[in-house]
Each structure stands twice: as C-alpha cells, then as structure tokens.
Structure 1
Amino acid sequence: MRKVVKFGGSSLADSKQFEKVGNIISADESRLYVVPSAPGKRFSKDTKVTDMLIKAYEITVEGGDLGEQLKKIKARYDEIIDGLGLEMTLDDEFATIKENLEKNPYLDYASSRGEYLNGKVLANYLGFEFIDPYETIFFNEEGQLNDYKTNKVLKKRLEEVEHAVIPGFYGQGKDGRVKTFSRGGSDVTGSIVAAAAGVDVYENWTDVSGFLVADPRIVEDPETISTITYRELRELSYMGASVLHEEAIFPVRSKGIPINIRNTNRPQDEGTWIVESTAKKPAYTITGVAGKKGFCSITITQALMNSQIGFGRRVLQAFEESDISFEHMPSGIDTLSVVVHEDEFLLKEQEVMARLHRMTEPDSIEIESDLALIAVVGRGMKSQSGTAARLFAALANANVNIRMIDQGSSELNIIVGVANNDFEAAIRAIYENFVARV
C-alpha cells in the first residue's frame, strides 16, 4: 500500500496542528508523499497566510513598504518553528520573497509562497525530501495543466526519493513564472502527485470527517457520506459542496485511484471514500443535496418552436455573443428556458434581449429572477421508484413553490429551482424526507 496525503490550511495552522499531522504520517508507513497547504486560520477572526501574502503584494503594487507585513507573516512561521523545536530559519527565504516582490511583483508568486514556506517547514519537521512544484508541475500557454510534461517530470523525480513533501497550489507557467491553480488548488496538486506516483490511495486531510449529506449551516448535524462516486461528487461540488476542489478528481480518476477525505482532528474517523464506481448500496436514496442562490431564468416562447431547426442554437448563440454561460436549459414544445447567473445577466440584460429578439423572433420573452437551484444527487435514485414524487411532496409540505425542474437522462440527479428566500427551507425539507426519517 502506498499513499499520497494532502493537509489543508486548518490542519497546519500552528505547531499543535503540525504535531497532529506528524502523528498521522508516522502512524502509517504507507504515507509516503505529503502535500501541504499554507497555514490557515488559528481562530475565527484570524487571517490565513495566503491572504496576508496577497496583502503584501497589494502593498508593493501601491508603492508601500513591505517590511511590516512580511514581519507579520514571518512571525506566523517562527511560531510554528519554535513550537516544534526545529533548528531552522526562513530568513533567506523571506529576504528572497522581499527582493522578488519589490523587483517584479505579481500575484501568483506572492500567493504561492505560503505553501512553499510551509513545505520547507514540514519537510524539515518530518525529515522528508523537499520537492518544489515549480520544477515539477507545468502549465501550458492557456494556463491549463500540462498533463504530459508534469506526469513525466514528476514521476521521474518521485522515483528518486522514498518520502517527500511537495507544496500544493502552484507550478511553473509557460512563461517561466510561478503559476497557481484557483483557490483551494492544493487539492489538485495532491491528485497530480498521486497520479504521477501511481499510489493506491489519495488521502485528503481537512477539518471535517468527510462529505456531509447537506450543508451543516442549514441542516443541524447532517449525516456523513461514507462512499460517493466521482460523478456524484462532481454534481454536488458544482452546486456548492466545497470540501474538495472540483478539479481534483480528474488526475486520479484516470488512474482508478480512490480519494479518502479525512479529519486531522479526528483521525479515527473513516471519512468519505470517493471512487469511480461501487457495488455498495447507499445508506439513503439520495447521496447528498446542495445548491446555490442567485440565478435567473429567461423563457423564450414561440409557437411551433419544436419544428424549427437550429432554434436552440440561435438562443444559446445570443448568450454566447454576450459572453454569458448558461447553467441549465429546460424546455417544452413551444418554450425554452435558459438559466444563468443573475449578476452576470443583469450587466448585459438588454443586450441579450435585443439579440434574442433579432435572432429568434419570439412570441414573448419572460424573465424570472431571484432563483435558487438545488441539486438532489444519488446513485440510489435510479433503482427507487417515486423519488421525484417524494421530492415534490416534501417541498409542497414545506410550502415551497417549485419554479423549475430539470432532470438528466442518467437519473443521477434532479435539479429544482425555488425562490431565493425558500432555499434553506427547501434544503431542510429534502433532508428531513430522505435522510432524517429513514
């Protein structure tokens, strides 16, 4: 058994958390490669190190003095180093960061240094080799991961060491400068390392014991999902479930490597397993429920729409030419609705309306705003009759009016649209009907 283990910012926020991480790694000799995030918040009103570094970048751009801000950041690391009793210093690294930011400030470099510095400290603490992702993870001209080059270089480098710390979140851009993933991208780094090393398991350690069936800010003490497939995870992540970066599944999925979400503060918990597919029957009909607010629906009506070739293409072209992406597109015989993010649409509302009239010559166009979308996801839905009826009944009993319904042919999920102010009540009603009463 060989594992890659990634630890989030809350797992590495201070020296006590570092000690927990050290105990977790030493408890299992198969945990060979470690991917750290930058130190997160130590308490609710604390500031993440990455945000402190972004502030340092902003000070530089505005022509201010970096000294005080870098002292604050260094103090965070010195507390960790002193708390662990390490004989090391980051003086040279901070001198280099100061010089580089003053000479040629750019955001990706500044925001990546939290992971870089934490990787240095963790490697020293564990006695592992330090591998800089700037030398092993590469992006192409479009800013996307260069899979072929990264896998080739990183695989060769990992074969040379038995244990290593590889900081998350960044690599090298095509222009030779530091390039970062989107926020939370250390999850993606861990997945890339797992795929390149060809390990058996990718463990992702955070501050929760896996994925929850529903958002704990809405549903009190929701159940934990024991096993979830990649497809289910994609649906829930897209709709707001944020334990794992939604792009992190792709590198390991192609290699058949499962992801295990674990809790650094409760290492005894099994957590959630994310797998390609499974014969395990889910505990409930649904795997999870998640959603987002802030959408609007544009409904185009035209008689005999279904007989017009290319009508749907012209509708979408109107949105494309206004640089607006669509989320869902439910339709009827004479109607077609396009669901988009309301804040994006409002900026170009009349521009889109003019294009739709010009390109489709509709009978009418109606706009419905303040829409929330909720995804009810589960592989168990396919084998259970009456799932949709239960869903609609649960919402009706909670006095929630359904304003939109969209279900894919896979029967993996049902999307419902409700008013923004009904969002929380709808989530609770669905959870109560499908999970709490089981």
Structure 2
Amino acid sequence: MKVVKFGGSSLANGEAFQNAINIITSDPQRRVIVTSAPGKRFSEDIKVTDLLIKYANAVINDQNPSKIVEQILNRYRDIADYFDLPADNLTPLKDRLEDLPRQIYPNDSYLLAAFKAHGERLNAQLMAIILQHLGYEARFVTPSEAGITVTGTPNNASVIPETYANLSQFAFNDNELLVFPGFYGITLAGHIATFSRGGSDITGAILACGLHASTYENFTDVDAIYSANPQIVDNPQPITKMTYREMRELSYAGFSVFHDEALIPAIQGNIPINVRNTNDPDKPGTMIVPDKDFQPSDIVTGVVSGKHFAALYLHKYLLNKQAGFTLRILQILAKHNISYEHMPSGIDDITIILDRNAINDQLIDTICNEIQEEINPDRLEWIDNYAITMVVGEGMRDRTGVISDILVSLAEKRISVTMINQGSSQIAIMIGTDDNDADEAVRAIYHRFFVN
C-alpha cells in the first residue's frame, strides 16, 4: 500500500484534480491520498491558505468577511464544475466554511490555525466527493477520526507517539480510497493545530509510518530533487537516489522541495519516499531511502546555500581558560528563547551563528548589550550578511581531498571562506561566506564535482 500526497499546485484547479485522479487510479497500491490546499493557478493568483488567513484576520478584527468567504468558495466551485458535480454536493463545504466564526477557540492563535487548516480539509472532502461521483469507493477521513494527535503551539504543532498506535488500529477495507487532509492534527483538548507551513508533507509521512506503507509518494511540480538550485545552476543534475540524512542536511540550508520535518516519521517507519512530478508522473523522480546498504554513485550528492543566517563574533584573550564562558553566553540566548545554529571556536574566539529570520534588530541589540555586560569581551561584532553553503554526499566518506577540492574551487573565484566545518558523519561540509558570494560558491563547487 502506498501513501500519495499532492501539493497545492497539483490540486489548484479542475484540470489539476483530474491529473491527480489519473495518477491515483493508475496504481491499485495508491490507497491513501493526502491533499494540500489549492495553490496558485497562475503567477498572480493567491493560494487558498492565504485567503483563509485573510478570513481569520477579518473575523478577529470584527470586519465583514463575506467577500473573502465567497472568493474561497469559488475556488472549490470551479473545481466541482469541472467534474459537473451537482451544486448541492458542495453544501457541506459551504456550511463548514461559514460556520468557522461561530466556533469557540481558546484564543486567536487557535482560531487562525483552525481557519488555515480548512484549505486542506475542504480539498480532501471535495476530492472524496469527486472520486465517489466518478464511481470510485472513496472515504474522507479527518485527523480526528484517524487519531492524528499533536502537541505544541496552535500554528507549529508536533505529532505525539500515540498517533501511531491510533493509526495501527484504524480500520478500512481493501477496496476503498482514503482521503486525508494534510497540514493539521488535533490537540489533546480537541482543537485544531497546524504543522509549520508546507506541513502536508508531514501528514503524509505520519500516515505512511502509522499505516505501514511500502512507499510514500510525494507529488509536486518538479521532475526530481536536483543537485543544486536550478535558479543558480543551469540544468543541474537530478538526484535519482539519496539517503534520509543527505536530504536532512540539504534541507537545512535551503532545499525546499520536501519539508525537512517530514523525514522524521519516514525515518521512524523506515519508509522510502519518492518525490515525483504530478505533471509528468512517468518520470521516476527522486527516491529518499535509509542509509543502510546505500551505495552512492557520486562523491557529492548536492550543493545548496542559505542566506538567512547571521553571526555574533566574540574575541577575548584567555577565553579557553575560563570555565563556563560559553555557558554564560548560551544562558543569555536561552533567556530570550533564541536557539543557535553553530558555534565554531578557537582559543580566544567564538562565532555564534543564528537564524536571521528568528531574531529582530531590537533583540540583537538586547543580547549584544547583555553579553557585553556579562562577558566583557575584548571585541564583539554582529555580522549580518552571513551565508552557509552545504556540500553533502554519502560518497565523501570514502574519498580523500574533498575539502581541498572545495577550497580550491572557491579560491579560483576569489571567494573568502569565514568558516568551515565537517561533521563526524563525514557526509556534510559546511562553509561560511558573505551572502553576496553564496550563489557563486554553489556554482563553483557544483562545477568542480559535477561538470569536471
């Protein structure tokens, strides 16, 4: 049995729905379907999730949301009309959408989560109705019915282990197609909570693990995962097969085709993931598999850069002689709920690399002031334009000279390296540069390993 997830662009309109249905029904092993909310139909379009956020904000601010509600409903009506679905079949969707403001929510964050989740919920319900209309045995299943239980904040939930026990007891027959909405689960108190944006990937992985699927097929709008960003490197090599940990390392710095948190349930269940193109489903796509017995075909699997980093540099003589020096810095970060990404150090220096998206200018000034007062460093510097380039590949473990090849390729382009780090797994090398050099660094490294 396979779990099949479709992204928002793959379910944006009636034609896309038909394409997805053709994929579903072409393989009898595709039994569990996970839907995203309808995405953009064209570049200037707006995603249904973003319309639902506008709907939620209108309700929170006591504004009339009727025009937004009509705009949302029209997206689903257009899909239904493509299949000549009787108008009364959409009544449950309309009633559900209009009833959202009348529900009771603990606070506005829960309200926002519930509204956002309905892009996926209504699309899954519509998919089941259309499949039934076309003569297939299909069932719409909510996270509540399946027992997908979560904790965490309303808009950044995490699945809990009981979910897998619940799914193992979920009953279904051998002929029916099960249609699940992606992106959300139910809290222990019975409220809707969403995963992080793009979280339908997570739902698919949870179901693949809990229902013991043979494969998790993730259909999106690209042919495969590529060895570099096609917007940076012309015609990069597609990756035919990679390991979970390679994908995890590449996702960290910017590979966005597959949600990195979705790897965890797949790893737990040892479920292979196949990323494929909805618009060209005969192409094999990219397989993401366990690392056990994996035989790499290339030295490097992928090169990716992330420009969303910043760094805090401290210099203090005899730093290495002071017990608890690093702890005092980390306590300041923890007090402000700031996690750090990396902390390369020398005998008199520490560089703390942070996610720039998770910290604002006011917070930067606050933590710098507190570190100055607590530590009194000889030099304290904030580096805003920081980029990290990840070079990842299982094939690097058994190959000497990889770091030399990387540094030579960067030196030839006169790119200054501010940090280099290789983890103990030996499958990933992290390089720090100025963010203005990041794209050229990716091209230089890619050319070294793939073109040469």
Q: TM-score range by the shorter chain?
A: over 0.9
1:122 aligns with 2:135: no
Partners of 1:62 and 1:104 in 2: how far apart? Answer: 16
SS of equivalent residue, structure 2 residue 340: coil
1:170 match: 184
Moved more, 276-285 or 33-42: 276-285
Write the distance in 1 (CA, Å) between the matches of 2:58 and 2:365.
Answer: 39
Q: 1:180 to 1:303 in 2, by over 3 A?
A: same
Supply the AA of the counterpart residue of 2:162. K
Task: Assess if the C-alpha contact under 8 Å between 2:151 and 2:160 holds in 1.
Answer: no
Q: Does 1:387 align with 2:402?
A: yes
Query: Structure 1 pair 357/141, CA: closer, same or farther in 2 (3 Å)?
Result: closer
Question: Are residues 1:132 and 2:146 paired?
Answer: no
What's the offset of the Cα at 1:359? 3.5
* C-alpha separation in 2, matches of 1:243 and 1:158: 32
**Aligned-pair CA distance for 1:125:** 2.5
Percent sequence identity is 38
Compared CA separation, residues 158 and 271, structure 1 to 2 (3 A) = farther
Aligned to 2:30: 31
1:151 corresponds, among 164, 185, 193, to 164
Match of 2:10?
11
Partner of 1:54: 53
Tell me how far apart the structure 1 counterparts of residues 114 and 365 of structure 2 sit (CA, whole Å): 40
Matches within 5 A, 1:362-377: 362-377=377-392
CA deviations 1:130-177 (Å, max 9, x no partner) are: 111133211136664353332222332244564311111112123322
**TM-score normalized with structure 1 length:** 0.94
1:228 paired residue number: 242
Residue of structure 2 aligned with 1:240, choices 254, 258, 267 = 254
Shift of 1:240: 1.3
- Tell me the SS of whatever aligns to 1:157: coil
Report the equivalent of 1:318: 332
Q: Secondary structure at the match of 2:74?
A: helix
* Equivalent position SS for 1:254: helix
Corresponding residue of 2:283 = 269
Instruction: Map 1:239-318; keep pairs closer than 5 Å.
Output: 239-318=253-332
- Alpha-carbon deviations, 1:253-305, whole Å to 9, x = none? 11211111111111111111111115444343211111221433222223333
Aligned mates of 1:394, 1:72 — CA distance in 2:
52
Please give the secondary structure, in 2, of the residue aligned with 1:42.
coil
Deviation digits for residues 340-394 of structure 1, max 9, x if unmatched?
2346263233432333344334333333331111111111111111111111111
Measure, in 2, the Cα distance between the counterparts of 1:366 and 1:53.
42
Cα distance between partner residues in 2 of 1:82 and 1:138 = 34
Aligned partner letter, 2:170: R
The letter of the residue matching 2:100 is N
Retained in 2: the 8 A contact 1:5–1:35? Answer: yes
CA separation in 1, counterparts of 2:152 and 2:384? Answer: 38
Q: Partner residue of 2:108?
A: none
Alignment RMSD? 2.0
1:107 aligns with 2:112: yes
DSSP-derived class of the 1:90 partner = helix
Structure 2: distance between partners of 1:420 and 1:141: 33
Check the 8 A contact 1:60/1:102 in 2, yes or no.
no
Q: How does 1:193-208 map to 2 (within 5 A)?
A: 193-208=207-222
**2:429 is equivalent to residue 430 of structure 1:** no
Distance in structure 2 (CA, Å) of the matches to 1:236 and 1:379:
12
Amino acid at match of 2:410: L
Distance 2:68 2:104 in 1: 17
Alpha-carbon distance between aligned partners in 1 of 2:261 and 2:267, rounded to the nearest angstrom: 11
Segment of structure 1 superposing worse, 388-397 or 358-367: 358-367
Does residue 74 of structure 1 match 2:73? Answer: yes
Distance 2:341 2:441 in 1: 20
Query: CA 1:240 to 1:304, structure 2 compared with 1: closer, same or farther past 3 Å?
Result: same
* Between 91-100 and 341-350, the greater mean CA deviation after superposition: 341-350
Q: Residue 116 of structure 1 contacts residue 167 of structure 1 at CA under 8 Å; is this kept in 2? A: yes
Count matched residues: 436
CA distance, structure 2, for counterparts of residue 354 and residue 93 of structure 1 = 53
**Structure-2 change in CA distance of 1:158 and 1:230 (3 Å):** farther
User: Compared with structure 1, are the counterparts of its residues 342 and 169 closer, same or farther at alpha carbon in structure 2 (3 Å cutoff)?
Assistant: closer
DSSP 3-state at the match of 1:191 = helix
Q: CA deviation at 1:333?
A: 2.0
Range with bigger deviation, 341-350 or 164-173: 341-350
Task: Give the TM-score, by structure 2 length.
Answer: 0.91
